[in-house]
Structure 1
């Protein structure tokens, strides 16, 4: 580190040393403020460690409850599964396990014909879901809307699912679902837009072939795929 030289030829004290000296002098002159600052820093450190520990503990507990709920689903005890999953979502909100539980609970509700319950829950959950779960949440919301005969809302949910999809083949599938829902809603223009997006991307051969067929049907052959 470079130092300046005095007129007598002696090196001047580095700026860092001067700063450190001033800080020490300030601390000596403001002992009470320094003590308060130390307390604040210590409390902050304790709270950080406590929050980290409680978060990890909650994740472990929520994970254990999720496994129990999955066992209930596997054994087709859907009433017990729904109860376990609902409690998990309520008691461990914010954990990854709770988000997985929300997805699984929606699947259980759809399987049991409780479509409106699924709609109400997924409408709250999907917008703020982690990216890992967002596409699936919107996809399930689209399915729930279709089941209650709300094709426009279903199509919009499927499009949001396509936007959030992390893999091309899933994006193509959700766009295909959106196209089908737009047709049911009577909006041919938006249905064609969804199908054309699949063809343009070329990410999924099967979905692209189906999209070309749908385009031909909607345009009555006027537009060659």
Structure 2
């Protein structure tokens, strides 16, 4: 019986095996190369650390010293100072609160006591100077500025209120508006308008925003900048129509419009 051999069968199989082996060898070679590179990089890193161990050690010590110093300062200096300043502020504030419900000479006397202190206690002026880096020291600038404004001492009011910084919803705009009031009272309407605008836009709320927009509008009218005044009054109409300033704002809009 005749037999025959399938042509190409065995060589084809051997070729496939060889291809797999070649591919496997190539992959292994690439992997080995990667690990060799990693080893080389690790060796270089170890060598660099060994060569720079002392500078690294001193740098870590320096960073740790700064962190520990900061924590110690907060615990043993900053926090006690904050508490002391806050306690000191209570004394002059009692006079300020009482003066707010008084009038005339009595009010001025109480504001003076709040500013200058007494009976061995600090007033707002001393607290602002002695505790300038604290929250209470910052607040002392505000109370001092308002006290001077109530006493019609305008340059002092502007000075202390300008030193006050706050993002509080009410106090921040009120301080800026009070500077505007001080400039208005010494007949400097341009400066007053500048601070009324700042006060109106410092925070958006239905108390300070319409109040200082209205003052800005009135001051712009005084400066005969009627177009600007109309803009302020229109903003009140659009955003704060239900506030005290918004109820009759239409007549102010018309006044500004027809004055142009």
Q: Distance in 2 between matches of 1:24 and 1:57?
A: 47
Q: Does 1:150 align with 2:160?
A: no
Superposed counterparts of 1:188-199, under 5 Å: 188-199=226-237
Q: Distance in 2 between matches of 1:51 and 1:19?
A: 42
Bigger Rg over Cα: 2
Q: Does 1:131 align with 2:167?
A: yes
The Cα of 1:61 is off from its aligned counterpart by 1.8
What's the counterpart of residue 52 of structure 1?
74
Q: Does 1:64 align with 2:87?
A: yes
Runs (4 or more) in structure 1 with deviation over 4 Å come to 17-25
The Cα of 1:65 is off from its aligned counterpart by 1.6
Q: Distance in 2 between matches of 1:97 and 1:148?
A: 29
What's the counterpart of residue 127 of structure 2?
88
Gaps of 5+ in 1: none
What's the counterpart of residue 103 of structure 1?
142
Superposed counterparts of 1:163-174, under 5 Å: 163-174=201-212
Q: Distance in 1 between matches of 2:45 and 2:87?
A: 51
Across the two proteins, how many residue pairs are aligned to each other?
214
Gaps of 5+ in 2: 1-26, 100-109, 117-122
Match of 2:163, SS state, is helix
What's the counterpart of residue 246 of structure 2?
208
TM-score with structure 2 setting the length: 0.70
Q: Distance in 2 between matches of 1:60 and 1:79?
A: 24
Q: Distance in 2 between matches of 1:75 and 1:205?
A: 28
TM-score with structure 1 setting the length: 0.79
Q: Does 1:78 align with 2:111?
A: yes
What's the counterpart of residue 37 of structure 1?
59
Q: Distance in 1 between matches of 2:64 and 2:42?
A: 22
Over the residues paired in the alignment, what is the CA RMSD in angstroms? Answer: 3.0
